Structure 1
Amino acid sequence: MRYVKLPQENVYEFLERLKNFGKLYAPVKISEKFYDFREIDDVRKIEFHYNRTIMPPKKFFFLPRETMFKFSISKAEYEEVVENVEPFVIFGLHACDIFGLKIMDTIYLDEFPDKYYKIRREKGIIIGISCMPDEYCFCNLRETDFADDGFDLFLHELPDGWLVRVGTPTGHRIVDKNIKLFEEVTTQDICNFRDFEKKRHQSFRYHEDWGNLRYLLELEMEHPMWDEQSELCLGCGNCNLTCPTCRCYDVQDIPNLDGDTGVRIRRWDSCQLRSHGLVAGGHNFRPTKKSRFMNRYLCKNAYNEKLGISYCVGCGRCTYFCPAGISFVRNLRTILGFEEKSCPPEMSEEIPKRGFAYASNIRGEGI
């Protein structure tokens, strides 16, 4: 891998030149507490030290709402809507969000690639940036706190600039075309990089082994946590909308007023909404709020075989943006036994039979 240094005095000039490679998006502060990825006119408004954005970067590749085709009933024909996607640059992704995109790639770029997603991934340039965790971050437990790939460039903070890792041929072209803005990496830069990474690692709130979590979730299907926490849930779907790896969508035909023509759209869906498990005939595979609540925890902690990690990257968005104040990580730690009252004595005799509840509970039966 190639390494170069971007001095602090050249940072804004570098950001300005990124616009030559496509429309520039980066994190900006949109309120007292919140940040989001927005199109950048003034590069000095870019936030380098933020913890999380409201919307994950998946929104640039998997649109919240998009038109798939137009149709005419009388003509019995449809016309595909082909969007002209121009190159664009997303600056400031944290490692966990880069892993989020890698997970999305395993879904939408598998043996049957989603062409809408694929064209945007091909046009997008990813530039990552290092960060310091807050109390909501647990990406270290998910092994997503340091990205080896999935980016064109990745910037690591130094006292007087940024150590830059070059990850792709596109990243090499960006550096080569702006080579005068960069310097060679010195021994002191390496020491500073090592110190920053050590400090970052020590700043995480939790340092535990979560390797058996997905099995304990299956075994603990009757843990009282499910009743207690699902009762608090508003069923709003905010956790899904802010999650960097939730990938469910709904497809709808929207007719025009003429009753003949219309469009087919797809839009983000949420497993926390009652309509998500509803099928023809009126049957609902997850009819209760508790069954939907449990489904999300099982889904997010399932194992992605292609990447060897869970579908949760530990960004903390679902907790930070939950209007009901539900802590995803605290609930998982309860199942793992790290929180108090995680396994009361009166439950110990029920452990053998709880293991057989998995198949029926995941279908929403008897909940």
Structure 2
Amino acid sequence: MRYVKLPKENTYAFLERLKEWGKLYAPVKISEKFYDFREIDDVKQVEFSYNRTIMPPKKFFFLPREKLFEFNLTKAEYREVIEDVEPFVLFGLHACDIFGLKVLDTVYLDELPDKYYKVRREKGIIIGISCMPDEYCFCNLRETDFADDGFDLFLHELPDGWLVRVGTPTGHRIVDKNIKLFEEVTTEDICNFREFENKRSKAFKYHEDWSNLRYLLELEMEHPMWDEQAEICLACGNCNTTCPTCRCYEVQDIVSLDGETGYRERRWDSCQLRSHGLVAGNHNFRPTKKSRFRNRYLCKNSYNEKLGISFCVGCGRCTYFCPAGISFVKNLRTIMGLEEKTCPSEISEEIPKRGFAYASEIRGEDI
């Protein structure tokens, strides 16, 4: 792997140069508490020190709502609608979100690639950035706290700039085209990089072994935690919407008023909604809120054989943005016997306020 250094004084110049490769999207502060990936006009808006965005970067590749094809019933014809996607740059992804995209790749770029997802992945340039965890982060337990690949460039914070790892031929071309902005990595830079990574590792709240978690979840299907927490759950789907690896969608045909033409679209779906498991004949595979709540935990903690990790990357969004204040990590640790029993009275008042604030933000966001 190639390593170069980007001095701090060249950071904004580098961001400006990235616009030559496509539309630039990066994390910006959109309210007192929240950040999100937005198109960048002024590079000084970019936030380098943030913990998590409201929406994960999957929204650029797996659209929340997407037209698949148009049809004409009279002529028995249909026409696929695949956008002519322009190149774009996503700057500032954390390692967990890069792993989130890798998880989606195993689903949408398998032996039968999804053409709508594939065209966006081919046009997107990924530039990662290092971070310091907060109390909601547990990517270290998921082994997603350091990305070996899945990025074109990755920036690691130094006292006077960034140590840059080059991950792809595109990353090499970006560096080579702007070589005057970069310097050689020195011994001091390597020492600073090592110190930052050691400090970051120690900053995580939890340091324990979760390797047997998925088996305990299967063995504890009747644990009282499921009833207690499902009762609290609002079944709003926030956890799915903000998750970087949730990939379920529903498909609907929208017919025009003439009854002859229309289009088919797919849109994000949530396994927490009653309609998710509903099929013809009014049968529901998961008729109760408890069954849907439990299914999400089993799904997120199942094993992705292609990557050797779980389908949860430990970003903390589902807890941070939960209007009911449900802690995903605390519930998992309860199953593992590492927490006392969680009761409704133990839920803090702070997190629900944060969750409802999120709901007001997302209603006005164009994603």
TM-score between both structures, scaled by the size of structure 2? 0.93
Alignment of 1:225-244 (within 5 A): 225-244=225-244
* Structure 2 partner of 1:191: 191
Q: 1:42 to 1:243 in 2, by over 3 A?
A: same
The reply on whether 1:310 has 2:310 as its aligned counterpart is yes
CA distance in 2, matches of 1:323, 1:262: 36
Q: Which has the larger radius of gyration?
A: 1
Question: Which letter maps to 1:185?
Answer: V
Question: Which letter maps to 2:201?
Answer: H
Question: Which letter maps to 1:48?
Answer: F
Deviation, structure 1 residue 82: 2.3
* Structure 1 partner of 2:8: 8
* Structure 2 partner of 1:94: 94
CA distance in 2, matches of 1:131, 1:165: 15
* Structure 2 partner of 1:252: 252
Contact 2:225 2:341 in 1 (8 A): no
The reply on whether 1:321 has 2:335 as its aligned counterpart is no
CA distance in 1, matches of 2:82, 2:180: 39
Alignment of 1:28-43 (within 5 A): 28-43=28-43
Superposed CA offset, 1:224-248 (max 9, x none): 0000000000000000000000000
CA distance in 2, matches of 1:69, 1:148: 37
* Structure 2 partner of 1:65: 65
Unaligned runs of at least 5 residues, structure 1: 343-367
Deviation, structure 1 residue 106: 0.2
CA distance in 2, matches of 1:93, 1:155: 10
Q: CA RMSD in A?
A: 0.6
CA distance in 1, matches of 2:315, 2:21: 28
* Structure 1 partner of 2:154: 154
The reply on whether 1:17 has 2:17 as its aligned counterpart is yes
CA distance in 1, matches of 2:38, 2:336: 38
CA distance in 1, matches of 2:327, 2:213: 16
Question: Which letter maps to 1:316?
Answer: G
* Structure 2 partner of 1:120: 120
Q: How many residues align?
A: 342
Alignment of 1:123-138 (within 5 A): 123-138=123-138
Question: Which letter maps to 1:6?
Answer: L
Question: Which letter maps to 1:258?
Answer: D
CA distance in 1, matches of 2:69, 2:340: 53
Question: Which letter maps to 1:96?
Answer: C
* Structure 2 partner of 1:75: 75
Question: Which letter maps to 1:209?
Answer: D
CA distance in 1, matches of 2:60, 2:281: 35
Deviation, structure 1 residue 132: 0.1
* Structure 1 partner of 2:298: 298
The reply on whether 1:275 has 2:275 as its aligned counterpart is yes
CA distance in 1, matches of 2:287, 2:98: 34
The reply on whether 1:171 has 2:179 as its aligned counterpart is no
Deviation, structure 1 residue 341: 4.1
* Structure 2 partner of 1:288: 288
Unaligned runs of at least 5 residues, structure 2: 343-367
Deviation, structure 1 residue 259: 1.4
Q: Percent identity?
A: 85
For residue 281 of structure 1, give the secondary structure of its aligned residue in structure 2: helix
